[in-house]
Amino acid sequence: MAEIHRIISRTVQSPNELFALATLVRTKGSSYRRPGARVLICADGSTIGSLSGGCLEDEVIEKGLEILAGRSSPTLMSFDTRKQFGCNGEIEIFVETIGPEYFTDVANDLAARRPSSLKTIFPVGQWVQSIDPQTRLFIIGEGPDTAPLIRLSLILGWQPIE
């Protein structure tokens, strides 16, 4: 859940930038991540998030960059991980271009500490993801354990408040 907050933050910070967003929309059998996992692909090739244990990301990022460059349209990618990667499943990933407005309503809800939802519509269905505001960690006092506690809370996707 922490990565969706980082993805939203990155898009909101860049109101004039286009991104590619890859969303895991369907799984069958075993998979490293579940539906709703996302990767934000920036025009410079940097990413936020993950879809697998690293097996698929290069191919998905390449497709995202093609879509951003206008050489491809939004795509539903299918991977049979039994054949390619030695896993026991199948996954589908939808890759699309998004603008800064894509997360506006969600960002506003989260800023107001309200739960929100995000709908991804892809060629053969839709995926609706519930997104809760970050867990807040109130840190009272200061000592040698404060800095590590803050770092740990950020890794967990929490919002430390001193």
Question: Residues 15-37: pLDDT tens digits?
Answer: 889 999 999 999 887 777 888 89
- Rounded Cα–Cα distance for residues 76 and 93 (Å): 6
Question: Residues 84-101: pLDDT tens digits?
Answer: 666 778 889 999 999 878
68: Cβ contacts below 8 Å, ≥ 6 apart: 18, 19, 20, 41, 43, 97
Question: Residues 37-82: pLDDT tens digits?
Answer: 999 999 999 999 988 877 788 999 999 999 999 898 999 998 887 7
123-158 core/surface letters (b: 16 or more CB in 10 A; e: else): eeeebebebeebeebeeeeeeeeeeeebeebeeeeb
Q: Model confidence at 114, in pLDDT bands (50, 70, 90)? A: very high
pTM of the model: 0.85
Residue carrying the six token digits 């697998």: 52
